[in-house]
Amino acid sequence: MKNKKYLATLLVVAGSCSPTAFAGSWLLGFSPANTVAPGSYSAIAGTGGQWSSVGDPPRDNFTPFLAHAGIRTGLTDSWDIGYRLATIALPYSSVGPSLGAEIDVKHRLTDIGNPWQVAVLAGVGYAYLDIQDQSKNAWSPGVDMIISHQIASGYTTFADLRYVYTEIPSANGGANASHFQAFGPGVGIKINLKENISITPEIGVFNFNGSIANQTANGIGIQYGAVLGFVF
């Protein structure tokens, strides 16, 4: 909707970590493969949660609330760029979750009028993590492949495959001793409520593995959520 301003705010609340619990980092993209048109903007805001089972023996952890917000703008007919606020955390009690930022670019590989759309996305996140009361910088590069299909007017389903790697280069032992990886698929549907307003629920299953101070904790996690989307 032209000549109107939108304001999106985000409050991230993550549960406390047990020694083998993953506290919460958004891995869902909440987006089909289509890109934002040049000169236009889209914004999303919503929430969800995560369940994980990590460690040996495995220990379950449930984070019921993870808020999320982001904004995108078109660069060309098939490229756009996005910025979102996210949580970056590792599955250890000595690492506290932290509010960080992520920037990414998406490239649509198919024609704009094709009912099947394919896109690739690459981005990087940055945040400070509190490790044993010391603040350390963390980097999180990641890639995503998205396939979407318009099943009816106003309804677009999508599936994506995401990989994210988080490292803490300033921790003792460097990134080799303190890092985390997440890999897995997600599925969702974008439902248009109005011409410029939509709702997008998504759920994903991810494999977790990592190390801090050379202590490993591997497992799985399930994330779910829904966001409202606005185009202007």
Tokens of 204: 């994903």
CB 54 within 8 A of CB 98: no
Q: What is the 3-state secondary structure (H, E, C) of 59-76?
A: EEEEEEEEEEEEEEEECC
Burial environment of residue 191 by CB neighbours within 10 A (0 to 12, 13 to 18, 19 or more): middle
Q: d(Cα 116, Cα 78) in Å, to the nearest integer?
A: 14
Burial environment of residue 172 by CB neighbours within 10 A (0 to 12, 13 to 18, 19 or more): middle
Residue-wise pLDDT for 122-181, tens only, equals 999 887 766 555 667 778 899 999 999 999 999 999 999 999 988 878 767 777 777 888
The mean-pLDDT minimum among 5-9, 39-43, 67-71, 137-141 falls in 5-9
CB 126 within 8 A of CB 139: yes
CB 103 within 8 A of CB 85: no
Residue-wise pLDDT for 11-36, tens only, equals 222 222 222 233 346 789 999 999 99
CB 170 within 8 A of CB 137: yes
Residue-wise pLDDT for 164-175, tens only, equals 988 878 767 777
Domain 41-231 classification at class level:
mainly beta
- The residue written with tokens 């394919």 in the block is 118
Q: What three-state secondary structure class fits 100?
A: strand
CB 157 within 8 A of CB 149: yes
Q: What is the pLDDT of residue 114?
A: 93
